[in-house]
Amino acid sequence: MDLFHINIEEIEGKINALKSILTTTPTLVYAGSTMNFSDCRGTCMGGCSGSCIASCSTTCTGVQTY
């Protein structure tokens, strides 16, 4: 099943369009670096098969259950 494919040139075109708007090239987020809430992977609750509610607590400050 050939699903979920995107044309590479189309993505590159959007990236180049953004580059022409942005005054500086944004730093990419690297794993292992200190992450802010906005960088949090956010899927920790789905990733953990145990108590599942907030196990990624040092990297994810965004878990809101209530």
Binding site for another protein (CB under 8 A): 1, 3-6, 8, 11-12, 14-15, 18-19, 21-22, 25-26, 28-32, 35, 38-66
In angstroms, what is the minimal distance from the CB of 32 to another protein?
Answer: 4
Token duo for residue 32: 């292992």
CB of 50 to another protein, least distance (A): 5
Residue 19 exposure: Cα atoms within 13 Å on the Cβ side = 7
Provide the minimum distance between the beta carbon of 52 and another protein in the complex, in angstroms, as a whole number: 5
Alpha-carbon distance 29 to 56, whole Å?
A: 18
Tokens of 43: 């899927």
